[in-house]
Every structure is written in structure tokens, then in C-alpha cells.
Homo-oligomer: A and B are copies of this chain.
Amino acid sequence: MGLLALTTTELLDRFASVDPTPGGGSAAALAGATAAALVTMVCRMPKTRTGDPRERGRLDGALADARAAGDQLRRLVDEDSAAYDAVMAAYRLPKATGDEKAARKRAIDAAVSLATEVPLRTAEACMIVLGTAAGAANDGNPNALSDARTAAALAWAGLKGAAENVRINLAGSADPSPMRSRIESLERAADVTLGGLGLTPASPRTTGGS
């Protein structure tokens, strides 16, 4: 049974348990999925910011993107935990003989590679959600502006959390440079998008709520 089939209370209790999974990577994907759901709500509202039909067109596009990225992030909640469980299982393989050692090393390398790729996909999906949240804040119903901006903050946090998990796994990876470059590029893009909404720590928002 997947983690999202648990009640939310049960899922939170699973995060809180001392077992390593589900951990930060799944929590990052959950934050991204929550952000995608909020964007979906805003884009579904009949009213747009000014009523300009071009706003409706852009919101329809954002809705499709947020739903696709949200569906992917829901799957990534489970995939991240499964990938990390596979890493731990590979480390438990026997290493008595030379053959066993070689097989174990191959299994570990393959599992670490997947456990790095999964949070990278989470970061990519969170970046899409962050972009749609910015769109919903610009074009959506002004009554839902705080929902769109909350979604942006959550998608940014999901991306940052995923990036932490990518980096942890890159430390044990054979050729980390291309993936490191990809995740740093995503982080810069996320920081710029959040800054465009005035949500960065560097420039705290001081105007009113709308």
C-alpha cells in the first residue's frame, strides 16, 4: 500500500518514527504535491485577476501543468522511500568473497544512482509547480492570492529539500558533476522565481496582502 493511502495522521507519524523512511525526500515531494493542489484550486476558480480572457488561457495552461506535476509528485512520495530502502538493502548484501564484494558494489552503485535521480525528478517537478504558482498569483482570482503565494513557498521548500537529498547521495556517486550542475541550476531558477514574488528572505515583503 502506498504512503498516500495512509491517513494523513498516520503518514505524519511515519515521518516522525525513527525509521529512516519515509524521510526528507518523501516530505519534499509531499510539499510539492500540496503546492500543486493549491495551484489547481486557484486555476479552477471561474474568476481571474482582471477578467481578461488571456488570463483564463494562461491559467488553463498552468492548471494542466500543475496537475501533471502534482500527479508525478504524489508518485515520488513513494518512489523516494523505495529508492532509499533499496540503498540500505544493497549495503546489507553479503561481502565474504571477492565475487560477493563486486556484486554488492554494483548493487550499491545502482541503488545510489536511483536514489539521486528520484529527488532530482522531485526538484524538477517542484520547479514546474513553482512556475505555475507564480502564474496563478499573477493571473488568478485576487481572493486566492495568499493560496497561490503559499503554494510558491511550499514548492520552493520542496525543491530545496529535494536538492539536499540529491547532494547527500552525490557524495557517494561516481561522477557527480552533471547532476550537481542540474540541481544547482534548478535551485537558482527557484530562487529567482521566489524573488520575483517578493518572497525571498533577502527582500521581505512589506506591502499588504493583495
Contacts and interface: CB of A to CB of B under 8 A. Distances in A.
Q: How large is the interface on A (under 10, 10 to 19, 20 to 34, 35 or more residues)?
A: 35 or more
B24 A146 contact: yes
B74 A12 contact: yes
Contact of A150 (B28, B36, B199): B28
Contacts of A17: 41, 44
A168 B146 CA distance: 7
A209 B38 contact: no
A31 B204 contact: no
Interface in A101-144: 143-144
Interface string A10-43: 0111011111100111011011011111101100
A191 interface: yes
A28 B155 CA distance: 12
Stoichiometry, as copies per complex, reads 2
A4 B5 contact: no
A5 B12 contact: no
A4 B15 contact: no
B24 A147 contact: yes
**Most B CB within 10 A of own CB, among A17, A23, A188:** A23
A150 B161 contact: yes
A156 B157 contact: yes
A13 B44 CA distance: 13
A171 B209 contact: yes
B15 A8 contact: no
Given A5-B7, A151-B27, A200-B200, A171 B70 contact: no
A48 interface: no
Given A5-B7, A8-B11, A24-B147, 8 more contacts: A15-B37, A18-B41, A25-B146, A153-B156, A153-B164, A167-B209, A171-B209, A171-B210
In the complex, the 10 A-B pairs of residues with the closest C-beta atoms, listed nearest first: A150-B161, A24-B150, A191-B201, A167-B209, A202-B202, A157-B157, A15-B37, A168-B209, A16-B37, A24-B147
